[in-house]
């Protein structure tokens, strides 16, 4: 059995291969029970958690386990640790233990971009990205892989991090205009694609800001009482998800409007697997506002980790 560490994952993956691999994997046969997230101490406000995400397809079986300790930084540790165990589908033989933290960065961004391929307008030119964390560069690079964007506006809480991200992205994509903004409303009103990868407790994007034809991508929140957009954004949009089972169990973006009685689970248009399998056309016209909410799937972990294993 191989042990595949973080750097091997980064050396093995690229969006040119990963995004098509995910499209193929989500269009085929697979098993994916609801992921299990366990809060380790319900009496504490630390929100320390342990999660298990199983999945399988015709090639491999996999399970990702991760720990999330949001206050770890104060003790000098990372907030998230993750491993993915792969088994051969034919005989159940253990194949590899793959670093899950690095896989998560790649697959999260690739899933977001894959959804955008189906849901954003093909002629999209402008993007607003909320966030400057570890995912930021992966997210922007993935979206640039599927759309010929001319300008990307980055919005973050820490000016130094925004400047650093702009400098990094400009170096790798000198033909694209990377700018910052302190006016989220103005930036969103002019954007073709808006993507959020933050830990915000309160909505960052309001529905009234979304122009006709915009695509809103939300991947930062995993809590039922938090959200990156307001209720109006949900009501103004055709809503798509990575996994209905997981999103409707965890994501405040949909759960809060449902609790308000203005949205129903049945109002979700389709899952990512429906888009990839051609069961739903995705965007129906250039005026439609589309919204994609993702909380992460075991299948995307499985496909990305298997791709890494095959590169060794």
Q: State pTM to two decimals.
A: 0.94
Same fold yes or no, 2-103+300-311 and 112-296: no
What's the fold here for domain 112-296? Answer: Rossmann fold (3.40.50)
pLDDT at 242: 97
pLDDT at 288: 98
| Domain boundaries of the chain, sorted by first residue | 2-103+300-311, 112-296
What is the 3 state secondary structure string of the chain?
A: CEEECHHHHHHHCCHHHHHHHHHHHHHCCEECCCCEEEECCCCCCCCCEEEEEEEEECCEEEEEEEEECCCHHHHCCCCEEEEEEEEECCCCCEEEEEEHHHHHHHHHHHHHHHHHHHHCCCCCCEEEEECCCCCHHHHHHHHHHHCCCCEEEEECCCHHHHHHHHHHHHHHCCCCEEEECCCHHHHHHCCCEEEECCCCCCCCECHHHCCCCCEEEECCCCCCCCCCECHHHHHCCEEEECCHHHHHHHCHHHHHHHHCCCCCHHHCCEEHHHHHCCCCCCCCCCCCCEEEECCCCHHHHHHHHHHHHHHC
Q: What is the C-alpha to C-alpha distance for residues 7 and 12, in angstroms, rounded to an integer? A: 9
Q: What is the C-alpha to C-alpha distance for residues 193 and 121, in angstroms, rounded to an integer? A: 9
Mean pLDDT by 10 residues, the chain (312 residues): 97 98 97 90 82 96 94 89 97 98 97 98 98 96 98 97 97 97 97 96 96 97 92 98 94 97 98 98 96 96 98 94
pLDDT at 189: 98
Contact 33, 62 (CB under 8 A): no
Looking at domain 2-103+300-311, its CATH superfamily turns out to be ornithine cyclodeaminase, domain 1 (3.30.1780.10)
């Amino acid at each position: 059995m191989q042990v595949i560490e973080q750097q091997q994952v980064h050396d093995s993956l690229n969006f040119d291969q990963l995004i098509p691999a995910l499209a193929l994997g989500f269009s085929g046969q697979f098993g994916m029970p609801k992921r299990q997230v366990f809060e380790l101490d319900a009496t504490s406000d630390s929100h320390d958690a342990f999660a298990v995400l199983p999945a399988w397809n015709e090639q491999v079986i996999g399970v990702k386990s991760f720990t999330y300790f949001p206050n770890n930084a104060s003790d000098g540790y990372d907030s998230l640790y993750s491993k993915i165990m792969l088994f051969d589908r034919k005989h159940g033989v253990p194949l590899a233990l793959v670093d899950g933290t690095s896989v998560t960065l790649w697959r999260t961004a690739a899933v977001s971009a894959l959804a955008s391929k189906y849901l954003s307008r093909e002629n999209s030119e402008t993007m607003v990205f909320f966030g400057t964390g570890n995912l930021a560069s992966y997210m922007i690079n993935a979206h640039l892989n599927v759309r010929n964007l001319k300008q990307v506006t980055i919005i973050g809480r820490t000016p130094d991090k925004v400047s650093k991200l702009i400098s990094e992205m400009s170096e790798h994509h000198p033909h694209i205009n990377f700018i910052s903004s302190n006016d989220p409303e103005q930036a969103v009103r002019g954007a073709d694609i808006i993507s959020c990868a933050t830990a915000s407790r309160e909505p960052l994007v309001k529905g009234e800001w979304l122009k006709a034809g915009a695509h809103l991508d939300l991947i930062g929140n995993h809590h039922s009482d938090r959200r990156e957009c307001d209720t109006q954004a949900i009501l103004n949009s055709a809503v798509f998800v990575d996994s209905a089972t997981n999103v409707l169990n965890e994501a405040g973006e949909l759960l809060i409007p449902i609790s308000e009685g203005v949205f129903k689970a049945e109002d979700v248009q389709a899952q990512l697997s429906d888009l990839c399998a051609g069961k739903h056309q995705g965007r129906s016209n250039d005026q439609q506002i589309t919204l994609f909410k993702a909380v992460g799937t075991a299948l995307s972990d499985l496909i990305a980790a298997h791709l890494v294993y095959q590169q060794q």
